[in-house]
Amino acid sequence: MRWKMDSFADGAHRLAAQLGRWSDGDGPLYRKLADALRRAVADGVLAAGERLPSERALAAALAVSRTTVVAAYDELRAAGLLRSRQGSGTRVSGHTRPAPTDGYAPGGSARALYQRLIDGPGDLVSLACVTTEAIPPVPDIIRETADRRLAELLAETGYHPRGLPELREAVADHYTGLGLPTSPDQIVVTTGVQQAVAFVCDLYLYRGSAALIESPSFAGCLDSLRAAGADLLTVPVDEEGADVARMRRIMRERRPDLVYLMPTYHNPTGVLMSAARRRQVAELAAEYGVPVFEDGAYTGLRAPREPPPIAAFAPPGAEVITAASVGKTAWAGLRIGWLRAPAATAERISRRKAITDLGSPLLDQAVAARLVRCWPQLAAARSALLAERMAVLEERLRERLPEWCWRRPDGGAALWVRLPDGTDARVFAQVALRHGVEVVPGSVMAPCGDHDSSFRLTFSHPVDTIAVLVDRLARAWEDLRRHGPVEDYAPRVVV
């Protein structure tokens, strides 16, 4: 299958993604590419003896001329970092040793995206993450919580693996109000939804297991599922959510160990799964005895009416775990999330939480408890802000890039854009990078290669940034359409 990246072309695109912002700065492209490959070797992204893509394949993936890659490879061969042999291609020298690392294993489709959080965006407009600045009344709630609760919290031991009781009670009441009766012993507080995903993967998945997911899906969670050793089984998404008929066929043919879905504003399409689909998913979970994880982290722009979580439709015996956070609605800097599960499952997950970090920060949890209590007001404020920004983005796209297509999302914070004429979004991403925009191509979010012409275009940025963003995208698109790959003078290195 294409998502396994067995072909030389897929290997070249994978390396291109891992090189990240290689074309930043001044100087000829071949020199910047050579420097990026040096860093990849030093960081362990490229191991000693590993075969590099051919010059032609890497040039296509990076949207540069073949001459650029030839010159970069020549420079690294001259430095002894690469070696070439007839019939075996170009490989990293066996004498090369990576710099000492902290044990982090490079790789994964989301690696380059998270690396940008570490490096900082600089002048780059990054579409890798949905950024959510704090909105009123978040600053006031933080100050008031510190003033009223600090002395009491300082007297605590600091260890609450399940979560601060008042936050668990607030979350339980929140779900009960949505039509999903919940008690505090069903809630485990996590450091964002990403940690909840990691715990669920650890609980249900193992090498050779199977996880059923939507395609496209969120790259970070795809990496978590793969890291757990799971094979990915995919179903498409239509205007009502995941294709339940396809899901039933897959469950009948190969019962998965876990179903991972984003029913409330699917990332990246923004689709809101209908109540009928949610009921069907819950019934399938009960019929086949397959646990379902519903990721509710991707909120922001909201539909007027939302159906209850999938767990609200679950018949007796169905195991559905529901996760969410305050990040996308209140403030991304408050890294507090939670999961709701059957009490016995919550108990097992809380043990993993205790082993991992003993519990999330107490002051942050106290702030989150107050935010959850005023969730409807926060959600309405965030939705209004994002609706304004989406309107600006759509207007500018229609003016500057009228041939691009997208479906207006039901909610969330991004458009799922499809490029015309089957243009590979991975190639466009490389051109856009040289114009100061980081694009997340569909191949990173769709493991089966069925969305290679699409990419996620976030609209959580301020309005003035959106204007800059569209201008840069338009110039990148014009370059790609008129000139194709960027030509670069690259003299041959004489050894």
pLDDT tens digits for the chain (495 residues)?
A: 223 334 557 789 889 988 888 888 888 999 999 999 999 998 888 999 899 999 999 999 998 989 999 999 999 999 999 998 877 789 999 765 554 444 344 445 555 555 555 555 568 999 988 888 999 999 999 999 999 999 999 998 778 999 999 999 999 999 999 999 999 999 999 999 999 999 999 999 999 999 999 999 998 889 999 999 999 999 999 999 999 999 999 999 999 999 999 999 999 999 999 999 999 999 999 999 999 999 999 888 898 889 999 999 999 989 999 999 999 999 999 999 999 999 999 999 999 999 999 999 999 999 999 999 999 999 999 999 999 999 999 999 999 999 999 999 999 999 999 999 999 999 999 999 999 999 999 999 998 888 999 999 999 999 999 999 999 999 999 999 987 655 444 444 333
- According to the model, what pLDDT value does residue 110 have? 52
Report the predicted TM-score, pTM, of the whole model to 2 decimal places.
0.84
Whole-number Cα distances in Å, 269 to 108, 154, 262, 312: 22, 43, 10, 23
Q: Are 298 and 221 in contact (CB under 8 A)?
A: no
- Both structure tokens of 234: 């995919």
- According to the model, what pLDDT value does residue 21 have? 83
- According to the model, what pLDDT value does residue 95 have? 67
Return the number of other C-beta atoms located less than 10 Å from residue 381's C-beta. 17
Q: Are 152 and 138 in contact (CB under 8 A)?
A: no
Q: Are 1 and 448 in contact (CB under 8 A)?
A: yes
Q: Are 10 and 57 in contact (CB under 8 A)?
A: no
Q: Name the pairing type of β-strands 89-92 and 82-85.
A: antiparallel
Distance CA 218, CA 197 (A): 12
CATH of domain 2-92: 1.10.10.10
Distance CA 336, CA 168 (A): 12
Report DSSP state, residue 52.
P
CATH fold group of domain 138-373:
Aspartate Aminotransferase; domain 2 (3.40.640)
- According to the model, what pLDDT value does residue 131 have? 82
Nearby residues of 454 by Cβ (< 8 Å), 6 or more positions away:
216, 416, 417, 418, 419, 425, 441, 442, 446
Residue 83 CB-half CA count within 13 A: 11
**Burial code of 282-301, b = ≥16 C-beta within 10 A, e = fewer?**
bbbbbebebbbbbbbbbbbb
- Show me where the domains of the chain are located: 2-92, 111-135+377-483, 138-373
- According to the model, what pLDDT value does residue 105 have? 41
Report the run of H or E that residue 406 belongs to, with start and end.
strand 405-406
Report the run of H or E that residue 10 belongs to, with start and end.
helix 8-19
- According to the model, what pLDDT value does residue 138 have? 96
| Helix and strand counts by DSSP (H, E) for the chain | 17, 16
- According to the model, what pLDDT value does residue 4 have? 34
Q: Are 409 and 456 in contact (CB under 8 A)?
A: no
CATH of domain 111-135+377-483: 3.90.1150.10
